[in-house]
A and B are shown apart, each in its own frame.
Chain A
Amino acid sequence: MISFELTESQAMVRDVVRGLAKNELRERARACDEASRCPEELLERSWQLGLVSAGIPEALGGGRAGENGEGGEPTTHAIVLEELGYGCASLGAMVMAPLQLVRPLLDFGTEAQKKEYLPLFTAERYRVASIALHEPWFGFDPSQLRTTAVRQGDHYVLRGEKHLVPMADRSSHFLVIARENEPGLSGLSAFIVPRDAPGLSVHGEIEQTIGFQAMPWGRLTLNDLRAPLAWRLGGEQGIDGRRLLASLRVGGAALCVGLARAVTELATSYAKERVAFGEPIAKKQAIAFMIADMHTEVESMRWLVWKAASELERGVDATRSSVIAQDYVARKTMKIADDGIQVFGGHGFIRDYPLELWFRNARVLTVHEGPVCV
């Protein structure tokens, strides 16, 4: 039955996260960007909302009643991420960063792996682990990874280089994505590698991007790293690479919806205030039509994200729907961020105003198969 109705608990969590987004993330976005740092207490305070542990089963100390996979997780995740993106996509991604390991564990982990790692993320204090997916080559394509995993008896040997690893400076574990078989997403494997594993060198906080300045991106070198079979996510069965990538596309797209919604709101109120030739510029069709389109696209992109998320939730292949969502959302978000600057005119270019920051963040977030993994 086609429905756009949130469940009661989804509406509740949306409101809670919206509060955090507007009152905390949005307020601090500029300062964090300028300082290239997110204050510890902000991460701790957000952690207390239980957004990370909400998906972890009660039996392992988390907040989710019922069996794994139940509870409408992917659509709720999309709703939460939209709100965080509405506050500040960069800080929102840091708040949710631990999910980079938690969600794949929930999706693909063996019972033993879930028992070992999930309780780490139900503790009192903020704790993070990252996905190491991206590699430093132009035109990066996850279906053609150059990092390899080769089975040798009872262990694997990992070799390669990863970059743009979010929060690498403080991650206790890395979920290293490597190519084990032939090219293509079904040839992917994932390994839970502890920070102190021999053969792993971590270069924390060395990469800077046009946006997401508060996010420390790091680089990993895997130098014939010996990974026991127990580290291989999903054990002998491994992971579903198509599902992993679909899930990451949906997450990034959901953040975009929030970002685009915020830019549209900012442009709307500015256009009503800013007077030119004796009336608010909102009364000029050239501006009004631009903002009408921004609003239209924010709505449309949200439904694409929800549809892809609902396919993930039903456990069906969401490759097509997530690629479509990513394509659409990336195009429209970039256009909205760009038009937002145009509505603000010269003020859109000035760092005292918010638009240039949203524009830079949009550029990082809308990279296809991008480095923001939530």
Chain B
Amino acid sequence: MIDFTLSDNDRDILEQIRREGLVARKHARYYDDHEEELPPMALPEAAEFPSLPERVLKRPTTDTGVATFGMLMGIARSWGDTVPLRFNRTALGNAALNAAGTPEQKERWGKTMLAMAITEPGCGSDSKAIKTTAKRDGDHWVLDGEKIFVTTGIRAEGVVVWATIDPSAGRAGIKSFVVMKGTPGFEITRKEKKLGIRSSDTAALSFTHCKIPRDHLLGGDENVPKQGSGGFRGVMKTFNMTRPGVAAGGIGKARASLDFTVEALEREGVRIDWERGRAARSAVEAKLIQMEADTEAATLATLRAAWLADVNSDNNLEASISKSKGGEVARSVPQGCIEVLGALGASRQYLLEKWLRDGRISDIYEGTGQIQRLIIARTIFGYTSEELS
């Protein structure tokens, strides 16, 4: 049955996340201004809030599916700030571990915070062009290469690195490897300075004759076919869940901007009259309604992508649809809100200008909006990536 309602328990959880977010907002400006400092794993006020993960784990199965609800939690969290009340001990590398690791590997690194290193100075979305190599040396792999734009690369305890074991094999040669901090030859070369999401650390890494045990290859040693692209696909599948998640992050920024704008305008006596016809709407009303609609559309597209995962259906296409919509509103809505509010909307007295900067990345990382459109178009036309690139 078509339904968009939430249980009282779920509404209560989201409400707590928003209360936590309001606390996080108090610290937002500081960590935006002091990019060189890593925010603590937990903000001082964290102790005032009951632990949510346990409560989320205990949700009844009759409530909204866990992936779908995860999107609502992601939107609510991002609505607060990029500085979380508590940092998760998982990062993107953990998602890869869960999608492609062997049971033994999941057991070994399940509690380790793992970043993910794909991008290189010479390639981003075109990940099959990566140059980092992994060469077998007895019971070891030897990694050589450079990685950039590694989210939480500084904070994480280890990193999942994409490298090719056979540059002539294209994407079939690409495998992922777990490298722990402190491994000789593995160095953090830089912490990036960014337009937004400054409290989230972004690292550049280098691997110089970096030797790791053979069983650090994600998916296990026996899974090293020269033919086929099972390994690559395995990791790409990770994106079917992380892309809606990134969309949710962007939507949170749009939602926060809109809420701020609607409240600010109401204080000035400007409010949307939902009953009046189109011709009677002021330009500001029309713009607000348009932004509300865009944000809601992106939200529902994201819930839909996650819901498909909840009911065990393929969501490759829908993940890209949601990411494309989420990235779009993260750019257009905070920007439109400043436009509506005038000069004070751009002031650093408020967080709105920060949300515009924070949201801008949503249409870039985890595949730009253009990459999402390529995936969508290939799926619709039934084309391979060679046929439409």
Contact = CB atoms under 8 A, between A and B. Distances in A.
Interface string B320-360: 01001100000000000000000000000000000000000
A3 B313 CA distance: 13
A369 B278 contact: yes
Nearest to A367: B278
Nearest to A2: B64
A119 B63 CA distance: 41
A2 B293 contact: no
Interface stretch (A104-112, A325-333, A348-356): A325-333
Contact of A299 (B4, B63, B289, B321): B321
A7 B297 contact: no
A323 B299 CA distance: 17
A142 interface: yes
B327 to A, nearest CB: 11
A324 B311 contact: no
Interface stretch (B25-33, B158-166, B220-228, B379-387): B379-387
Interface string A241-274: 0100100000000000000000000001001100
B377 interface: yes
B58 interface: no
Given A2-B307, A185-B275, A300-B325, A323 B373 contact: no
B83 to A, nearest CB: 28
A296 B383 contact: no
B294 A289 contact: no
A281 to B, nearest CB: 11
Contacts of B62: 1
A13 interface: no
A324 B68 contact: no
Interface residues of B, number: 49
Contacts of B376: 292, 295-296
A83 to B, nearest CB: 15
Interface stretch (A90-98, A162-170, A220-228, A304-312): A304-312
B65 interface: yes
B388 A300 contact: no
A142 to B, nearest CB: 6
Among A144, A303, A306, A369, the most chain B Cβ lie within 10 Å of the Cβ of A303
Interface stretch (A37-45, A133-141, A196-204, A232-240): A133-141
B300 interface: yes
A136 to B, nearest CB: 14
Contacts of B296: 304, 307, 321, 324, 328
B276 interface: yes
Contacts of B294: 328
Contacts of A342: none
A50 interface: no
B298 interface: yes
Given A2-B5, A268-B381, A292-B373, 13 more contacts: A1-B3, A2-B3, A2-B6, A142-B277, A242-B275, A291-B377, A292-B324, A292-B380, A300-B301, A306-B2, A319-B274, A323-B274, A324-B289
Question: Considering the complex of A and B, which 10 residue pairs feature the smallest CB-CB distances, nearest first?
Answer: A141-B277, A139-B279, A303-B300, A288-B377, A328-B293, A368-B278, A292-B376, A300-B297, A292-B373, A292-B377
